[in-house]
Every structure is written in structure tokens, then in C-alpha cells.
Amino acid sequence: MKKRFLVCIDSDGCAFDTMELKHKECFCPMYIRYFGLQAVSKYAREAWDFANLYSSYRGIHRLRALLKALEVLAPRKEVLERGFQVPTLSELSAYVEKGGLLSNAGLEEYLKEHPDSEEFRNILKWSCQVNLEIGKTVFGVPPFPHVRESLSRLSETADIVVVSATPAEALEREWAEHGLTRYLTAIKGQESGSKKEIIASLMGEYDVDKILMIGDAPGDRDAAHANGVLFYPICPDEEAASWKQFEEEYMDLFLSGVYAGKREQSAISYFEALLPTKPKWI
């Protein structure tokens, strides 16, 4: 760093088609196992997918997603008819509400102070097992079409930084596996803070109108706008088309300084319309 422009890019579900794989094959099976949801597994899966993939909550931290999935599962008619008691995780809810550190390290610190908390012990086991499952399962997944071409062109005039809530070790492995690290200035994972905090830490060397966040979740939009920088959405289920449009049109709009305003708002409005706030069963 530094070039004239800064482009921050999310990883899972944005640059790589790994989000569905991680959630459906790693996160969700462990959520059913560790939180005793076997009796309502079909509905638990739908709740997990809603909270993490197909709603305005897409991309939230795994601990918030765990709470949201249980929250939308509990009132479902089929669950109530079975007399099934959905776990509430009241300790975790209070911890998140008070601003506790959202990481395995944060869970470990809490357990040091509250060694009798079976709830947190189980949540930590779940989170650690998810990481193990991801390590065993997620490999060989290429970037979406037009990502490589976009990065190659962008890297000529922009510093490119991966900004993600995924652990840095996993990010470095995934980006290196496909030879994309050559285009990057840095990789910032969950250890570097929230996406909002990471963007803020990078901004000092650039004019604010020359900074863009590319992401696939409302949280990416919020992190960008909280810092007063631009956002370009990669739309769920339309990722290749979003990247093609970026490569062929929106990249030049950004680099020429005319993306801000109506063009950005139009792209975001389309993106937001794809992500409901309530599941179909509520």
C-alpha cells in the first residue's frame, strides 16, 4: 500500500462459492448434533439456511446466526406440534447483547471466568468442531467466474484487501489454493476485528470516494456505509452475473468516480430485494 484506490473484498459467498458448502455441510450438521435438534432436523436446517443464506441476516457472525436460527425455529408450527423445546441459549444471548468478543477466544475467556457454564462449553465445542469440519470439507472450490479477471484489472490501480469474518488461516489457504494472493495487498480475517473496524483501519491513506467494499451480505453494506465508503453487492444466486457486471461496467464507474449516488443505490436496492427479513413460516 498504497495505490490510488482501495478495494476491500469479502471471501465466502462473494469471491468464492463456499458459503453454501460451509453452511450446509459443516455448520448445520454440527448445529443439529450439538444442540440436540435431531427430532426437528428438517425444520432446523431450514431455519439455519434462512438465518445464514437466504435472508437479510446473511453473513452475520456464527454466534449471532446460532441465536437467530434458534429464534426463527422456535415458533414454527411443525416444531410446536411435536412438543419440541428449542434451546434458548440465554447466556449466549446476554453475552452477545453486552458486546462480548465474538470468537472462540472470546468464548474461552468467558469460560475462564465462568467455568461451570455448560452452555458456553457446548457452544465452544460446536464452534471448534465446525472449524475442523471446514478444514476437512472445503477445498477445491474455485472463485466465481469473472473474479480472477476483475482482480487482475483492479490490482493495476487499486490495493486489494480481503476483509472477512472467517479465520485468517482459512482465508490464506483458500486464496493461495487458487493463485489469487498475487493480486492482494493483505488478508484480514476475524482476528483483525469486525469488518467495520478493519475498513476503518485501512482508510487513512486513501480519499474516501476511492474506497469500495465488495460483498454479498447486508453486513458488508453496513460496514462500508458506516465508514462512509462505497459498496458493490454480489447478489446471492446471481454471483457470476454480479461479477460479470462489475468487470464490464461497475469497475470502470468506480475508477472513474461516477459510481456513487444513483448507480450505487440502484445496485443495492436490487440486492436488498432478494433478502427477506422473515421466513415464510412466520
Q: Which fold has domain 5-17+143-273?
A: Rossmann fold (3.40.50)
d(CA 35, CA 60): 19
- The Cα 179–Cα 127 span in angstroms is 29
The single-letter DSSP state of residue 191 is: G
Q: Is residue 68 within 8 Å of residue 74, measured between CB atoms?
A: no
Question: Domain locations in the chain?
Answer: 5-17+143-273, 19-137
- Please check whether residue 45 is in contact with residue 173, taking contact to mean a CB–CB distance below 8 angstroms: no
pLDDT one-digit tens code per residue, 201-243: 999 989 999 999 999 999 999 999 999 999 999 999 999 999 9
Average pLDDT over residues 67-95: 98
Identify any residues that bridge with 211 across adjacent strands, giving them in sequence order: 6
Q: Could you tell me what percent of the chain has a pLDDT over 70?
A: 100
Q: How confident is the model at residue 166 (pLDDT cuts 50, 70, 90)?
A: confident
Banded model confidence at residue 139, pLDDT cuts 50, 70, 90: confident
**Does residue 1 carry a pLDDT above 80?**
no
